[in-house]
Amino acid sequence: MKTEFELINAICTKSKTRNPKLKIGIGDDCAVICQNSQTDLVVTTDLLIEDIDFKLDWSKPEFVGHKALAASLSDIAAMGAKPVWALISIGVPEKIWASDFVERFYDGWLRLARKFAVELAGGDISRAPDKIVIDSIAAGETRKNRAILRSGAQAGDFVFVTGNLGGAAAGLRLLESGKTKNPASSSLIQKQLCPDPQTKIGLILGEKRLATAMIDLSDGLSSDLRHLCEASKTGAKIYAEKIPIHPKLKSFKEFRADALRLALDGGEDFELLFTANPKNAKKIEKLLPAASRIGEITANAGRIELCQDSKNILIEPRGFRHFGAIENAKL
């Protein structure tokens, strides 16, 4: 079965007519559109479907609203941009309409929007036959020609990630197995249900021009590093012992053996993966203590290697995908 990435590549090849104001179309975390002589606009859209992207049994309506906006803000952060506008459309079955879901959904959405001064500019409401459908659109601004693209990495650049990885995937496993009572589980479940977009870090990288390429970690490190390398026509080598695994994974014996795999392939951490010229490494260390250097970009286009115990292993993209997946389950 074809994957969604194969479909996206096919659409991209077919849609060739280009308005010169559209600087970057399909293929990056956001489209980049010329706004005026000083600024560019970045725009992203994300679809969330009940029982695929969230489950009402696990998630409060406020968290669903938060996550819908957080996913879009994460894409804006990945461009080094400042979020400014958002639109939210929601389709709800009648029985959900009769509950307090929609009001509480907006409470969660608006709380996160206020944190980053994002204005709700519009949306749409429809009745849905069976499950809730949410479309989140957000837009932001960068200074002219300053959007950080997936395609800017060069051989020799260092590879960095923010925060720590594998937490959201572990949180999902805890929810699936019903193991939610252990006190150590709450930060993992929080990471899954109510993720924080890395808006401030994205802005610092954009304003200080410290990153050569960037993507957010929505599908998982193994997949998203591949997307960045494909766009940049490079390879990468990362080091197992440098990957910042979520510290709470150690608290669960079922995650200990699997922690590295969760960090490599687990989706939805919404951290940032970026590359930088080695001359900026010291500045990055100082300005962004939450960023870890995990490897380097190589000239071996398409070859993504993991160095573990002095052995190099090729990494296959095993992160989340909706269609044609190795493991086709988000929830």
Q: Which residues contact 13 (CB under 8 A, 6 or more apart)?
A: none
269 binds ligand ADP (CB under 6 A): no
Instruction: Identify residues 222-251 at the interface with ligand ADP (CB under 6 A).
Output: none
Q: Which does 269 bind (CB under 5 to 8 A by kind): Mg ion, ligand ADP, none?
A: none
CB of 59 to ligand ADP, least distance (A): 20
CB of 54 to Mg ion, least distance (A): 18
CA separation for the pair 185, 174 (Å, rounded): 7
Nearer residue to ligand ADP within complex by CB, 9 or 300: 9
Among 11, 22, 301, 313, contact with ligand ADP (rule: CB under 6 A): 11
CA separation for the pair 217, 138 (Å, rounded): 18
CA separation for the pair 74, 80 (Å, rounded): 10
Residue pair 88/71 in contact (Cβ under 8 Å)? The answer is no
192 binds ligand ADP (CB under 6 A): no
8 binds ligand ADP (CB under 6 A): yes
Nearer residue to ligand ADP within complex by CB, 216 or 296: 216
Nearer residue to ligand ADP within complex by CB, 218 or 292: 218
26 binds ligand ADP (CB under 6 A): yes
Nearer residue to Mg ion within complex by CB, 74 or 234: 74
Q: Which does 40 bind (CB under 5 to 8 A by kind): Mg ion, ligand ADP, none?
A: none
Region near ligand ADP per CB under 6 A, out of 22-30, 154-162, 183-191, 192-200: 22-30
Q: What string of H, E and C letters represents the secondary structure of 99-163?
A: CCHHHHHHHHHHHHHHHCCCEEEEEEEEECCCCCEEEEEEEEEEECCCCCCHHHCCCCCEEEEEC
Among 218, 234, 275, 298, contact with ligand ADP (rule: CB under 6 A): 218
Residue pair 331/9 in contact (Cβ under 8 Å)? The answer is no
Site of interaction with Mg ion (CB under 5 A) = 29, 75, 216, 218
Q: Which does 157 bind (CB under 5 to 8 A by kind): Mg ion, ligand ADP, none?
A: none
CA separation for the pair 310, 237 (Å, rounded): 12
Q: Are strands 235-239 and 304-308 parallel, antiparallel or unpaired?
A: parallel
Among 40, 75, 141, 271, contact with ligand ADP (rule: CB under 6 A): 75
CA separation for the pair 298, 305 (Å, rounded): 10
Distance of CA 68 to the CA centre of its chain: 12
Region near ligand ADP per CB under 6 A, out of 25-33, 157-165, 260-268, 275-283: 25-33
CA separation for the pair 301, 155 (Å, rounded): 10
Q: Which does 301 bind (CB under 5 to 8 A by kind): Mg ion, ligand ADP, none?
A: none
Nearer residue to Mg ion within complex by CB, 141 or 219: 219
- The packing angle between helices 61-77 and 199-207, to 10°, is 10
326 binds ligand ADP (CB under 6 A): no
Region near ligand ADP per CB under 6 A, out of 27-35, 50-58, 96-104, 199-207: 27-35
123 binds ligand ADP (CB under 6 A): no
Residues in contact with ligand ADP by the rule CB under 6 A: 8, 11, 26-29, 46, 75, 218
